[in-house]
């Protein structure tokens, strides 16, 4: 008998097809997000699950899933997992690192450029038929080239963003839980600074740190007040890292120049005040959404499930295991 798995959201049909070679697969063709109680009901008889960042896997869900051996997240971020509860229950947790680094870094730059040079704001204005003449002061933005870029969170995506900054002759400063070693710092041409110094000195601040209780509201009213009034802020990490209400106020009062947001507190809901301020670029959590990368993420999540449930060369040892202490339990 094949092991049973749940694929909790719609994903590429060919990846589902691949999974059916190994598993009895339950899909979610309506692609509705399952709240924990619903997820628990669907996992009652499952050996594994493929989730996205939208599904919360917590102790309540795990208690209802006695056979569950693995949950494979199709995301590098895994703040939707209660990792301690999964580890205590001996359930393997996996994510999809690396495969999205370059695509996400590209998007960070797209969002930074759009924010600093007011691309979506000016496009809205043009579409509204308001362009009747060229003017010297139309949509004046901030330069990227030669400016100081402050990166908070210098993991693999942060480093990929930093490497791209060399092409714009930028001065790069970063802040991270731990300082990079000298070789990596040199490759990124980035200098380590404290968070306060970064906020005070950067012309453009970009957030790429993982979400946890410790990083909740890393940027709130106090931090926004430290930034230059001409500065921009980009969040492509997770909702909750920025206090969105405080940011909307700072944007409305022009305490910073502009922001670019790909992630939101409580997404897919967006704080209503962010929808009314003009100086913010809003995108629906698409930083990793190139066709090739999203397919790569789905296949890597499938690789993790296949290996975790005992198939292939990595049988029993999924390539992106987040809690190796469960092995041998």
Between residues 35 and 278, which has the closer beta carbon with respect to ligand DGY? 35
Three-state SS at 100: coil
Q: Find the shortest distance in angstroms from Cβ 102 to ligand DGY.
A: 13
Q: Find the shortest distance in angstroms from Cβ 254 to ligand DGY.
A: 29
Between residues 108 and 150, which has the closer beta carbon with respect to ligand DGY? 108
Catalytic residue among 24, 102, 197, 267: 267
> What is the distance, to the nearest Å, from the Cα of residue 305 to the centroid of all Cα atoms in its chain?
22
- Please tell me whether residue 53 binds ligand DGY under the rule CB under 6 A: yes
Q: How many Cβ atoms are within 10 Å of 328's Cβ, its own excluded? A: 7
Contact 72, 23 (CB under 8 A): no
Q: Which of 159, 176, 235, 288 binds ligand DGY (CB under 6 A)?
A: 288
For the question of residue 267 being annotated catalytic, the response is yes
Catalytic residue among 9, 175, 204, 285: 285
For the question of residue 55 being annotated catalytic, the response is no
# binding residues, ligand DGY (CB under 6 A): 6
Q: Find the shortest distance in angstroms from Cβ 277 to ligand DGY.
A: 24
- Please tell me whether residue 299 binds ligand DGY under the rule CB under 6 A: no
Which residues between 74 and 133 bind ligand DGY (CB under 6 A)? 75-77, 100
Cα–Cα distance for residue pair 54/79, rounded to 1 Å: 10
> Token pair for residue 272?
């209503």
Cα–Cα distance for residue pair 248/270, rounded to 1 Å: 11
Q: Find the shortest distance in angstroms from Cβ 225 to ligand DGY.
A: 28
Cα–Cα distance for residue pair 164/144, rounded to 1 Å: 12
Between residues 230 and 283, which has the closer beta carbon with respect to ligand DGY? 283
Q: Find the shortest distance in angstroms from Cβ 229 to ligand DGY.
A: 30
Which residues between 56 and 75 bind ligand DGY (CB under 6 A)? 75
Per 3-state DSSP, the chain is made up of helix, strand and coil in percentages (nearest 5) of 35, 15, 45
Question: Token match 């995506």: residue?
Answer: 157
- Please tell me whether residue 8 binds ligand DGY under the rule CB under 6 A: no
Written as one string, the DSSP assignment of 214-226 is: GGTTSB-HHHHHH
Catalytic residue among 238, 265, 271, 294: 238
Three-state SS at 309: coil
For the question of residue 255 being annotated catalytic, the response is no
Between residues 61 and 241, which has the closer beta carbon with respect to ligand DGY? 241
Q: In what order do the strands lie in the sheet with 232-235?
A: 190-192, 171-175, 148-152, 204-207, 232-235, 258-261, 280-282
DSSP state of 242: B
Which active-site residues does the annotation give? 238, 267, 285
Q: Please report, as ranges, the residues that interact with ligand DGY according to CB under 6 A.
A: 53, 75-77, 100, 288
């Amino acid at each position: 008998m094949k092991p049973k798995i749940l694929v909790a959201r719609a994903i590429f049909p060919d990846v589902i097809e691949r999974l059916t070679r190994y598993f009895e697969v339950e899909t979610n063709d309506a692609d509705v997000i399952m709240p924990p109680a619903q997820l628990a009901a669907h996992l009652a008889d499952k050996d594994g699950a493929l989730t996205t960042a939208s599904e919360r896997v917590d102790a309540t869900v795990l208690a209802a899933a006695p056979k569950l051996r693995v949950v494979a997240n199709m995301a590098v971020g895994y703040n939707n997992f209660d990792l301690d509860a999964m580890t205590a229950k001996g359930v393997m947790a996996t994510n999809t690192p690396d495969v999205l680094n370059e695509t996400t870094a590209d998007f960070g730059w797209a969002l930074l450029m759009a924010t600093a040079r007011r691309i979506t704001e000016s496009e809205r204005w043009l579409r509204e038929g308001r362009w009747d003449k060229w003017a010297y002061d139309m949509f004046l933005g901030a330069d990227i080239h030669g400016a100081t870029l402050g990166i908070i969170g210098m993991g693999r995506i942060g480093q990929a963003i930093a490497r791209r900054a060399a092409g714009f002759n930028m001065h790069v400063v970063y802040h991270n839980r731990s300082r990079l070693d000298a070789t990596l710092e040199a490759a990124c041409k980035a200098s380590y600074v404290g968070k306060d110094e970064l906020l005070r000195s950067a012309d453009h601040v970009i957030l790429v740190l993982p979400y946890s209780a410790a990083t909740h509201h890393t940027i709130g009213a106090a931090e926004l007040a430290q930034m230059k009034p001409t500065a921009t802020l980009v969040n492509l990490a997770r909702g909750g890292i920025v206090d969105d209400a405080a940011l909307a106020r700072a944007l409305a009062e022009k305490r910073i120049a502009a922001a670019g947001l790909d992630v939101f507190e409580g997404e897919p809901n967006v704080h209503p005040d962010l929808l009314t301020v003009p100086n913010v670029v809003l995108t629906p959590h698409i930083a990793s959404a190139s066709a090739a990368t999203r397919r790569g993420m789905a296949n890597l999540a499938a690789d993790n499930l296949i290996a975790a449930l005992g198939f292939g060369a990595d049988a029993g040892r999924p390539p992106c295991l987040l809690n190796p202490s469960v092995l041998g339990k």
